[in-house]
Amino acid sequence: MQERNDSYACDRKISKVATLHPGDDRKDQCVTSPKDWWDRLRNKPVTEYTWADYRRNEALELLANANGSGTWIELSNHSNGFVREVAVRELIRDCSPEALVALTERLNDWVPQIRDLALSGMNNYLNPAQAPALLYALDSIMALAARQRVDHAPTYTAARTVLQSPEIRDEVFANFLTRQGKAARYLFSLLLETDFDPERLLRSALAHRELTVRLAAVSVCQDLSPAQASPLLIEALSRPGAKVRVNILRALLPLSDDPGQLLRMALLDPSPSIRSLARWAAPRHGVDAPEVLAQRLSQDFPTRKREWLGVLGLAAELEIRLQKHWLTEALSSIYPSVRQAAVRLLGDEDLPLMLGALGDSSEKVYLAAYALTDKQPWAALNAGVAAKLDCEWHDLPPQRSRAILHLMSSWQQVAYLLKRLEAEPVIETFWLRQVDLWCDRQYQAVDPVTSKDQRNALVQRLRALAASGLIQSDRVALFTD
């Protein structure tokens, strides 16, 4: 901290005794290039070698090698006040968007003379002809305003006034459409304060790539008359983005001439948040959600993913069971998200459909089906799982086949493996390996489904395989009759 204070003090001292003032230009030769600045600093008289002299000499070395606007932009951030001053003077001569960014940053310099120089240079950009440069430096201008310094207010206000000029309004609007984040929000609020076509601005804002701009546009629409706001909000309701669409629906309900019809559509929306708001508002407008679902189920199957997700989602939220032909059709959809939603609607009586979904190509559908199937009792699962594995073991990924096998009770798993071992002697090695893996996983098998006699018979077969050296005997020895 002391070192930083010393640096600031040094720069202040430099600004008082050694900074190049504009008035000196009239006393010395005309300064037209970096070499002139270098000669000027080198020939400046000093009485004794001080810390300021060290800083001046450091500046001499840097300025002697400076070349091009890119270098001046870098040097404008240098710790040496001499260097920053010369860099700012050069940037004033180089009228470019990049130079404006550097000058804007120097408005916060801790040396007053450098701040004054930067301000004089920035004033050259405060006119409509420099709109491209102002838009390029917009982030720096907003950062300037965020500091909330009183001496920055006139500059910030002047830049905002220029950007609101009628002759560049279309250019600012086009730039707004490509922006994101704070810049997009700033330009939106800036354009709102002008007489720019409000319908065009709000329609574009409601479709903007920046989420916060879309949310702000919805808030602005709420202050308009119903005749102005309703068409804009209804058009925006069809665009993706659940967070914005919920706000749009909330804004539309008090404006709509027929909120009931709007809620009937929202109840079958693919977005859970839209359906949640619609179910909350439905009783207040005389809309019966189960009746809306029943009416839709009496029609043909949906043809689009959004329609499927709306029907399946509402049925799940209302805890209404769909008829089997609807579930079968949904499970055969080409969209994994639809199949996953259908799996969540399956009940205990739909075990065949659950087992069928275990072979789905989508991992998400498979995991949803597996979680649901795993809750079923072993007595109901064993036969169905065995039948599925008979047909699909070698077609499924190995990890998935073993996971489905684990849905069976412990002793029924090995009974199934031994059955396959007898039925497929051509791949005996494969099934012996599966039996070996099963034995390694057993510590204390809990299986209330398999009878004691069947367990004893299975243990004897395992011991016979171990005695023949076909499987390891260590774990088999632990099994008791």
What is the tens place of the pLDDT at every residue in 426-464? 999 999 999 988 888 876 667 888 898 998 899 889 888
Q: How far apart are CA 32 and CA 39, in angstroms?
A: 11
Q: Give the CA distances from residue 47 to residues 50, 235, 396, 410, in Å, rounded to whole numbers and listed in that order.
A: 9, 76, 90, 97
Position 194 in a domain:
no
Position 441 in a domain:
yes
Helix or strand (DSSP H, E) at 298:
none
Position 376 in a domain:
no
Position 34 in a domain:
yes
Angle at 335 between CA 331 and CA 338, to 5 degrees: 55
pLDDT < 50 regions, the chain: 1-29, 68-69
Instruction: Name 22's Cβ contacts closer than 8 Å, sequence gap at least 6.
Output: none
State the residue range of the domain holding 479: 409-481
Q: How far apart are CA 444 and CA 253, in angstroms?
A: 61
Position 300 in a domain:
no
Instruction: Report which of 15, 2, 224, 243 is spatially closest to residue 112, judged by C-alpha positions.
Output: 15
- Tokens 């069971």, located at residue: 321
What's the confidence (pLDDT) of residue 477? 66
User: Count of CB atoms within 10 A of residue 58's CB?
Assistant: 15
Position 459 in a domain:
yes
Q: Into how many domains does the chain fold?
A: 2
- Which of 125, 148, 182 terminates a domain? The answer is 125
What's the confidence (pLDDT) of residue 82? 76
Position 139 in a domain:
no
- Which of 103, 125, 147 terminates a domain? The answer is 125
378: phi then psi, degrees, rounded to nearest 5: -60, -40
Burial zone of 399 (CB within 10 Å; 0-12 exposed, 13-18 middle, 19+ buried): exposed
Q: At what angle do helices 153-163 and 138-146 cross, to 10 degrees?
A: 140
Instruction: Report which of 211, 208, 175, 203 is spatially closest to residue 190, judged by C-alpha positions.
Output: 175
What's the confidence (pLDDT) of residue 24? 45
Instruction: Report which of 387, 375, 440 is spatially closest to residue 412, judged by C-alpha positions.
Output: 387
Position 94 in a domain:
yes
- Which of 101, 125, 149 terminates a domain? The answer is 125
What's the confidence (pLDDT) of residue 10? 44
